Structure 1
Amino acid sequence: MLAARALPLLLLALAVAACSRDKGNPAPPRIETPAVLPQQSSTIVVPVSASLAALEQQFNARTPTELWRIDKAEPRCVPGKRVKLFGRAVKVTPTLGCRIVGRVTRGRMRLGGSGDTLTIALPVKAEISARDVGGIIGRETATGAALVRATAKLSVDGRWAPVAKVDIAYDWTEPPGIDFLGARIRFADKADEKLKGVIAGLERDLPRELAKLRARDELAGIWRQAFTSIQLNRDRPPAWMRLTPRRLGFGGYRIAGGRIELQLAAEALTETFVGDRPADPTPTALPPPAGRIGPRGLRFFIPVLADYAQLEPVVQRALRKLAAKGITLTGVGPVDAEFGKVTIYATEHGHIAVGVQTRVKARNGLLPATKGEIWLSALPFNAANSKVVRARDVKIAGRSDSTAVNLLITLFDDTVVQANIRDALTHDFARDYNKVLIAARRAVAGHREGDFVLSADITDVRNGPIKVTGQGLFLPVQVTGTANIRFAPGR
């Protein structure tokens, strides 16, 4: 009889014991969404320049010192003179012919200019003789000097070949000529015929000499090498910036400081990837020159990560410290609580899930000791441009009908317990932020791809709102600066 009455009590005790080992409330769904950072559009300066002195040397090397020679019979070197006598014009001196022999030589050609205008100065000297003048004079020699001046507006065509619109003028500072028998024999018009050819040659040769700077070849190499990925950070988290050039804008030539420079800017898509190096974009052919591209500047994101494993021990230590001080629950009284493993991951709607393995027992002995894993959710947030991330809206993630876990739920519904969890979830990204920023500055300070170097200077850094991702809490840091790609062949 006693055994029969004891059986229901034994079954009740087993049921209570089973309930006391309840796993707790249901865990929220885990979200594995990776960090996706916005694409940015950057404009990178592409300086391609050459020394004016080198260009000047090329011109002087390929242009002969003697520009031309003349050896020509001239039947009217000295026109005859006529006087009016008895109403008629009477010739008193004959028209004299001669032989014109001479040459024109040049001095050193000088290049200069400013802004988008190239200037060319070419000194010219003439030495011309009138020989056998009317059979009277054997030889008379005249000298003269002229200064050929050219201004060239430089551009490029659709295939990046140099184009020059040249405006050339010259004047005789000493027109060549001789005086004979009261008449002036002038040779400037004879020299002018030859100088026209020299001037036309300058207009033809200038683009040809500019093409020898191999600007197009250099541009094609820069364009091809710019399709690349640059490692911004090695770990925590590994991050890469991928460059995909889209346009190459031409802003004209600029002459200053003894150099001639193509003002170019490449518009590129800058993307940030977290994890393994992304596949490099496929290079395209050098596109035709575009017009001026918008505001110059390099823009990209740096992800700063706090993975959940960093936060878990912080929450655990905070709860254990609270338990050591003692916890009193409304309607229950003092309890003894033990906090074990803490699990944190991303869940829905930008929240994080916090699971805590817990054992709790009321000291009054009216309720059995209960253990299980309680799940809460919290919403991480940060103020504008702040590196400190806090949590709000901390609450039980889901209710359970189990009587045994009611004590656990009462424990985690307590405002003091939730305040400690909320404070423990506060994370200051400053240290990680500085570390990642230093790494990024180094990465873009002088990144070499073959014979080309990307150099960037970071001028402004701002961080955005915190992002909850499957990989951890990400603080997206937006970086702006200036950048250029230059040709720098390796030794």
Structure 2
Amino acid sequence: MATPRASDRRRSPALATWLALAAATTLAGCHRKPAVPPPPRLEIPVHLPETASTVVVPITAQLADLERALNRAVPQTLWSIDREEPRCVSAQRVKVFGERIKVTPDLACRIVGTVRRGPITLSGSGETLRINLPVNATISAEDVGGIIRRETATGAASVHGDVRLSVNPDWTPTARVSIRYDWTTPPGVTLFGKRITFVDKADQKLAGVIAGLERDLPKELRALDARGQAAAAWREGFTVLQLNEDNPPVWLRITPTEIGYAGYRVMGRELRLTAIAKALTQTFVGDRPADPAPTPLPNLVRQSKQPHLTFQIPVVADYAQLEPVLARALKKLAARGITIPRAGPVDAKFDDVTIYATTDNRLAVGITVEAKLRSGVIEKTRGRVWLTGVPDNKANSEEVEIHDLRIAADTDREAVNLLIDLFKTPEVVEAIRQSLTQDFARDYDKVIGSARKAIAAKRLGDFMLRVNMKQVTHGRVVPTGSGLFLAVQARGDASIAYQPRPRAASTLHTPGPAKAR
């Protein structure tokens, strides 16, 4: 037996261990262990929960249109007077010796006159609509006692009304009108030194005019067809909107389920009935979903909730984007050189990086490795190494890190598991961890910006859907079949309002008052 060389006697204990393992491999022949199977691949779908939202549906009418309707309905001549009055001027009496003696008889006359109205105007603010009706009277006393041929009096009154509007569940508008008036110039004449007024005569007729206004106003409101406007907006509300065109394509489907009454308001020269539609909002990733089937406009319900639109926006980091990042990092690391503790420098080559979702909300990372110790003690070793790790981020943070990296290996040498030790080195662990650490901020901003732009103003036929995204939040990252998935929840205000498309002059159609976001 040959005597060991001095250089062999100076070998480190760790190297002696590797040599012993190599000798064991030679003695064991070519017997191999079964390959370590890769972690199971899970095609976990992106799951976006349905959310309940509300969309404001403003139904508008111009006060000018309502004024025109009322001015058509109420005649300009409110009433006329033409009648004999037996006591136009009462008899004059004087007191003589304690008794009142008639010195002039009762004087009869004929009262003739006309009371006309000026233009009816509407104004108001908030929940109160105001009616203003100027009244002008011209009344004459004719043939007074056969002595005075005619005395003419003029007068003016102002009629004011405060209207509280509402609407029944069947969309029939109602109005409670509180009307008052006063004579700014009471009509009257002075005959034989006595002032005679005709206010009581005019008041009898004015009461009927007021009753007519209370009757006509709801009728004219019904003619504005709030139900028709609401029905058209309701139909257009069943829609699918594209939030993001690609990487990935994202769609928002809106399905109205209920509509409620939120009140009337006078805003400048516009009368607005506000309805709030409750809707189901669903987000889809990939192919465009089918349009929701419209349903008939339901009856109104009372609505007290604050309007808001809530929907999900997925931000997805494709595994195909992560794989080359990790491959480049490992290639750079191999070029710099890797040293395995207690074994020495190793030459390594990494390729065929695969990443996918596996069990327990973990990522599986597969890397094919070829490695050998530079000392030459261990021959070249090749195999497929599998790691798993947990992607994690803080709430509302776009930076995703990998925790709890675990390693399994499939090598072509059963005695020397060089590959496992290679993937335990701090340099390799850190390279993998940093490569899989992803900052979603850029993708996040792109997707949110795309969604904000897509739905800021979206035409739906002759209606415009407008959404103002006010709040954007997100939770924890989740591995899915298509990539690392970050569910973003957007919340804002939405309204759908009538805004017809511009039409060519030859086919221009002007809708009636407030006819049909």
**TM norm structure 1:** 0.89
Q: 2:213 aligns with which of 167, 184, 202?
A: 202
Alignment of 1:348 with 2:359, yes or no, is: yes
Alignment of 1:31 with 2:42, yes or no, is: yes
Aligned residue number for residue 324 of structure 2: 313
Contact 1:333 1:362 in 2 (8 A): yes
Q: 1:260 aligns with which of 271, 275, 281?
A: 271
Question: 1:102 & 1:240 partners in 2: Cα distance?
Answer: 71
Question: 1:196 & 1:383 partners in 2: Cα distance?
Answer: 72
Q: Which amino acid aligns with 1:32?
A: E
Q: 1:114 aligns with which of 122, 125, 137?
A: 125
Alignment of 1:69 with 2:76, yes or no, is: no
Aligned residue number for residue 407 of structure 1: 418
Aligned residue number for residue 369 of structure 2: 358
Is the alpha carbon distance of 1:402 and 1:13 closer, same or farther for their aligned partners in structure 2, counting shifts above 3 Å? closer
Aligned residue number for residue 163 of structure 2: 152
Q: 1:335 aligns with which of 327, 346, 361?
A: 346
Q: Deviations over 1:80-128 (max 9, x none)?
A: 4455667766544433333322111111222111221111111111112
Question: 2:396 & 2:207 partners in 1: Cα distance?
Answer: 67
Q: Deviations over 1:368-423 (max 9, x none)?
A: 43322221101111123221211111112578998267333332233332221111
Is the alpha carbon distance of 1:427 and 1:14 closer, same or farther for their aligned partners in structure 2, counting shifts above 3 Å? farther
Aligned residue number for residue 16 of structure 2: none
- Report the CA distance between 1:311 and its aligned residue: 0.8
Contact 2:408 2:420 in 1 (8 A): no
Q: Which amino acid aligns with 1:317?
A: R
Matches within 5 A, 1:432-471: 432-471=443-482
Is the alpha carbon distance of 1:340 and 1:79 closer, same or farther for their aligned partners in structure 2, counting shifts above 3 Å? same
Is the alpha carbon distance of 1:398 and 1:268 closer, same or farther for their aligned partners in structure 2, counting shifts above 3 Å? farther
Is the alpha carbon distance of 1:341 and 1:401 closer, same or farther for their aligned partners in structure 2, counting shifts above 3 Å? closer
Aligned residue number for residue 498 of structure 2: 487
- Report the CA distance between 1:237 and its aligned residue: 0.9
SS of the residue corresponding to residue 302 of structure 2 reads: coil
SS of the residue corresponding to residue 500 of structure 2 reads: coil
Aligned residue number for residue 247 of structure 1: 258
Question: 1:174 & 1:447 partners in 2: Cα distance?
Answer: 56
SS of the residue corresponding to residue 282 of structure 2 reads: strand
Aligned residue number for residue 140 of structure 2: 129
Question: 1:93 & 1:18 partners in 2: Cα distance?
Answer: 148
Q: Which amino acid aligns with 1:155?
A: S
Matches within 5 A, 1:389-408: 389-397=400-408, 403=414, 406-408=417-419
Contact 2:143 2:149 in 1 (8 A): yes
Q: Which amino acid aligns with 1:153?
A: R
Aligned residue number for residue 281 of structure 2: 270
Q: Which amino acid aligns with 1:208?
A: K
- Report the CA distance between 1:340 and its aligned residue: 1.7
Contact 2:53 2:310 in 1 (8 A): yes
- Report the CA distance between 1:36 and its aligned residue: 1.2
SS of the residue corresponding to residue 466 of structure 1 reads: strand
Aligned residue number for residue 281 of structure 1: 292
Question: 1:426 & 1:340 partners in 2: Cα distance?
Answer: 19
Aligned residue number for residue 382 of structure 1: 393
Contact 1:465 1:475 in 2 (8 A): yes
Contact 2:171 2:300 in 1 (8 A): yes
Contact 2:169 2:301 in 1 (8 A): no
Alignment length (residue pairs): 478
- Report the CA distance between 1:426 and its aligned residue: 1.1
SS of the residue corresponding to residue 277 of structure 2 reads: strand
- Report the CA distance between 1:451 and its aligned residue: 0.9
Aligned residue number for residue 238 of structure 1: 249
Contact 2:383 2:410 in 1 (8 A): no
Q: Which amino acid aligns with 1:169?
A: R
SS of the residue corresponding to residue 232 of structure 2 reads: helix
Q: Deviations over 1:23-66 (max 9, x none)?
A: 84211111112111233333333333233233223322443221
Q: 2:65 aligns with which of 29, 54, 59?
A: 54
Q: Deviations over 1:460-491 (max 9, x none)?
A: 33332111111110122222333221111112
Contact 1:265 1:293 in 2 (8 A): no
Q: Unaligned 5+ residue runs, structure 2?
A: 1-24, 503-517
Q: 1:430 aligns with which of 441, 444, 447?
A: 441
Larger mean CA deviation between 118-127 and 318-327 belongs to 318-327
Aligned residue number for residue 204 of structure 2: 193
Among the aligned pairs, what percent are the same residue? 54
Contact 2:456 2:468 in 1 (8 A): yes
Larger mean CA deviation between 278-287 and 386-395 belongs to 278-287
Q: Deviations over 1:7-38 (max 9, x none)?
A: xxxxx98996684xx88421111111211123
Contact 2:233 2:463 in 1 (8 A): yes
Q: RMSD in angstroms over aligned alpha carbons?
A: 2.7
